[in-house]
Structure 1
Amino acid sequence: MSYKTLVTFVATETGLKPLLQSASALARRFDAHLEVCCMGVDTTQSMGFYAGAPAIIYQDSLNAAKATAETLQDTAKECLRGADIRWSTDSAVLSLGGITSYVGLKARFSDLVVLPLPYGAGRGPQDEVIIEAALFEGDTPVLVLPQTGGALPEFNKLVLAWNQSNEALHATRAALPLMKQADLVNTVIIDPPSHGAERSDPGGLLAQMLARHGIQTDVSVLARTLPRTSDVLRRHLKDQAADLLVMGAYGRSRLREAILGGATRDMLEDTPCAVFLAH
């Protein structure tokens, strides 16, 4: 298995060129096709429509979204013209609520989605919608790059977050091409259940499965000595000098994580390295 179709979604010019540099480098590494989907998002909500509102207000918003999509597509073509990879672009004008269907359809027929961090300066609500749509509607793994542009990390030192969940197993299987190329794969287990199925040998069955793929992994079992699991995980990533974290995404519901927080959201808000996610 390898990644032969990569896709990225852009809705703003913020960080566009560095993102394309990183995505192109990854496509080159896997001899893959890169598709850049340029979205103009109309933020006028239908619930905000009211009787008697001038139609020109709505038309202006659509025109602005269309102009944004066209500008993004022109910029993407300019950046990729002459690149030594196979690439294509697409554009769409969408409402905020329509992002999910579009991203889900495009991601569904891709092997990997490449995105920047959804939170931080220059990011908006559409960025969070995009990453969740790729994971849930597209059922596609997502590689989130905290720093785009420049030299793409080789992903030689990987940390695999394992908690026996379906999400973690899906992420493991989806990340096999990256793990096969890594020099070191460290499996980290934080506070394993004392009465779980793997209580006598945490991570043992997983290590056996990976070994049959030619992937050697060492297992680190850690206590949760900090308030949040993500805090322990973040500290471990720095101790390992890891350049990629592989983890299952949204083991809790998205609403619960949005309100109460969770490891997925915490890592996407502040991560020392790239994050590979699958649900």
Structure 2
Amino acid sequence: MAYKDILAPVITLEADESALTAAAEIAHAFETRATALIVAVHVASAFADQERPFSEVLADVARGTRNAAALERTKIVDWLEAAVHNFEVRDLTIEAAVDQNEVLAHARVTDLVVMARAETHAHARRALIEHVLFEAGRPLLLVPSAPRKPRAWKRALIGWNAKAQSMRAVSAALPLLQRAEAVAVATVDALPSRSGHGQAPGRELAAYLARHGVQVEVRNLDSMGRTEARALLDEAEGFGAEVMVMGAYGRSRASEFVFGGVTRELLLGSPLPVLMAH
């Protein structure tokens, strides 16, 4: 089993270089197709970081192919030309991506979507993440924008709660898990249950993964007053994990999604990449 197609939606090189790096590393490891989807956020856009004076908007429009979004695109393309793996390049505006759902058309026909978690263009970035995570039906690998460092993707920790979303994330991560050198399954305050964890939390998942060629160790954690996300992050750090695998939880409210507690905490502050599926 292998990834055959990887998509990286990006807005700026400064914030998204880590996502491009991760996409290039994984694509190179699987000798597969990688696509950079450059999402333009123009100065006049409602998704821009801040509202600009009308004079500044006009000046940016007057620059034509030298406007801010175009210059950012040039930086990204220059980076891609020197990357360790060849990328196909596609372009969208943020309005087309989100308001017209065009990012979904790209994401739904790929094996893995890779994005960066960053503070810049927060409104646009959150909208893209929500669309991909909850509507594309594809897994999302969310990486921190910093520090930018190379990864071998050889150590993985699975945050397991025996729910459907968690299993979807495990299935999506299987190509990475099968080439990993060390994999741990971690539960937090898990109790035996016939309809959930079974007699021994994590054991059934470990047996399933073993049948797919993945040897894992099971770690049943006591939260000791920590949040579930914090307990998993502490365990991942101690294990030396390069990626965490988790189910993503949320529900639709009006025009946006409301993330579940663990999902929200990981989206906001995980220091390591998190592969999620809803």
Q: TM-score range by the shorter chain?
A: 0.7 to 0.9
Aligned partner letter, 1:134? V
Query: What residue number does 1:230 align with?
Result: 229
Is there any run of 5+ residues in structure 1 with no aligned partner, and where?
A: 46-54
- Find the residue that maps to 1:92 and give its secondary structure: strand
* 1:249 maps to 2:245: no
* 1:181 maps to 2:179: yes
User: Relative to structure 1, is the Cα distance of residues 164 and 188 closer, same or farther in structure 2, using a 3 angstrom cutoff?
Assistant: same
User: Relative to structure 1, is the Cα distance of residues 91 and 125 closer, same or farther in structure 2, using a 3 angstrom cutoff?
Assistant: same
Q: How many pairs were matched up? A: 268
What CA RMSD, in Å, does the superposition of the two structures yield over aligned residues? 3.2
Aligned partner letter, 1:162? W
- Find the residue that maps to 2:132 and give its secondary structure: helix
Query: What residue number does 1:128 align with?
Result: 126
Q: Deviations over 1:202-247 (max 9, x none)?
A: 1222111111111111111122322421121122112222211000
Aligned residue runs from structure 1 range 1-279, under 5 A: 1-41=1-41, 44=45, 67-81=67-81, 83=83, 85-95=85-95, 98=98, 101-118=101-118, 120=119, 122-147=120-145, 151-197=149-195, 198-250=197-249, 252-253=250-251, 262-279=261-278
State TM-score, norm by structure 1: 0.82
- Find the residue that maps to 2:77 and give its secondary structure: helix
Is there any run of 5+ residues in structure 2 with no aligned partner, and where?
A: 47-53
Aligned partner letter, 2:162? Q
Q: Deviations over 1:126-165 (max 9, x none)?
A: 1111122112222111111225675421122211011111
State TM-score, norm by structure 2: 0.83
Q: Hey, what's the Cα distance between the residues in 2 that align with 1:64 and 1:217?
A: 56
Aligned partner letter, 1:170? R
1:260 positional shift: 8.1
Q: Hey, what's the Cα distance between the residues in 2 that align with 1:63 and 1:104?
A: 31
Q: Hey, what's the Cα distance between the residues in 2 that align with 1:185 and 1:18?
A: 23
- Find the residue that maps to 2:178 and give its secondary structure: helix
Aligned partner letter, 2:133? L
User: Relative to structure 1, is the Cα distance of residues 185 and 70 closer, same or farther in structure 2, using a 3 angstrom cutoff?
Assistant: same
Any conservation in 2 of the 1:172–1:247 contact (CA below 8 Å)? yes
Aligned partner letter, 2:144? P
1:59 positional shift: 7.9
